[in-house]
Amino acid sequence: MLICLCGTPSIILNGVIRLMTTVAQSTFDSFDAVGANDTSELRKAWRPLDDKNALIVYSNNLQNDLAQLLLGARLPILLCIDDFSYLMNNAMADGITTTMEGAQRATIWYAQLAAIATSGQAFCINSKAYTEEAIDIAKKVMDYFQIKYTEEALSEIRKNINGDSDLNITFQEFIKREFGHAFDPNLYRTSGYTFDGVGVDSIINELATSYAVLADGKPVEKVYWHRLLFRYGDVPDKYLHGSVALVGPARMLFFGPYLHLPLGQWVAEIEFEVAECGADTIAMADAYDDGILNAVSMRFPRQGIYSFTIEFEVTDPLKAIQIRLQMLKGAIEGEFLLHGIEVKRQSLAN
């Protein structure tokens, strides 16, 4: 039997892998547990299987080729998705990774798993499982994969899960016992985030909410990219706190946010404000990953609040998305202020 597990690189995935090996010890004559993130790694791990032997394949950095193989084969998949806050904070735990880099990494892992999460062929385990009894999770997973077990085997699984406890322990207690210091409740904090010394808790939490629906098997429909997620074109190491003076030569006004989106068709609506703008101020905006996905040009109005859209397709969730705006010719007056960008899904990937 082939048992496929994939998920975010987190303590939940590690806990479920450990839970599945505990199950396999009591339900199969033999089993192997191997990591595989792409099809080449899966080929190396493959061996003949039957109902009495199991291969547990787990992935914590799922590549698109393996995701498409699993989906195309209509295989049942156990999907483990941890909270956005955990992924962010865990990435930042080294003390070197910034808040923005932590957010970027969290969006990578969510975008990677989106096709699996919304496929209808995955059983999802998320942080809500912490309060469930570990044996109940084990039984749900066995039923999902149609793993046959006797009452004797179930009793043995229960004993191995609960250890010295006379009571059924929760999944969180199981993880704490198995991994000790690796479980840190502080990694689930949702406050204390800053960009350039400015508090951005609400911005990060809004971003997290947009992606959180994937843990319930629902597609990400829209994401709001606040101005502070972008960087000044003139000062690329600074976040876009305020307006940009248009006076000067042709140049990049802003770029970013280097965040990741699931596969599919998207449209970005860019809302901005201009003041005292010259009549011949011409600009071009584009959606960019490692190449231009689409671009539009415009002549800035004299004054007021306006918006425009750019449609683009995400074909590789590992490529970070940017929206960039640049002046195509110099200006002698004017000021530009980005309000924000709302990115909406148009359709899922085929």
CA distance 132 to 140: 11
pLDDT in tens, 99-158: 999 999 999 999 999 999 999 999 999 999 999 999 999 999 999 999 999 999 999 999
pLDDT tens track for 154-200: 999 999 999 988 899 999 999 999 988 667 878 888 999 988 888 99
Stretch 46-71: mean pLDDT: 88
pLDDT > 70? residue 309? yes
Per-residue pLDDT tens digits for 64-103: 999 999 999 999 999 999 999 999 999 998 787 899 999 9
CA separation for the pair 277, 285 (Å, rounded): 17
Average pLDDT, the chain: 92
Mean of pLDDT values over 335-345: 96
Q: Across the chain, where does the E strand assignment appear?
A: 2-7, 30-35, 53-59, 77-80, 122-125, 194-195, 198-199, 222-226, 231-232, 244-245, 252-255, 257-259, 264-275, 282-288, 292-299, 304-314, 321-327, 335-348
Q: Is the pLDDT of residue 54 over 80?
A: yes
Q: What is the pLDDT of residue 195?
A: 86
Q: What angle do CA 325, 327, 332 make, to 5 degrees?
A: 140
Q: Residue 278's pLDDT is what?
A: 78
User: Tens of pLDDT along 29-41?
Assistant: 899 999 999 999 9
Domains of the chain (ranges; CATH) run 2-186 (3.40.50.300), 221-348 (2.60.120.260)
Cα distances (Å, whole numbers) of residue 175 to 26, 130, 187: 20, 9, 15
pLDDT at 213 over 70: yes
Grade residue 347 by pLDDT with cuts at 50, 70 and 90.
confident
DSSP single-letter state for residue 175: H
Percent of all residues in the chain with a pLDDT value above 70, rounded to a whole number? 99
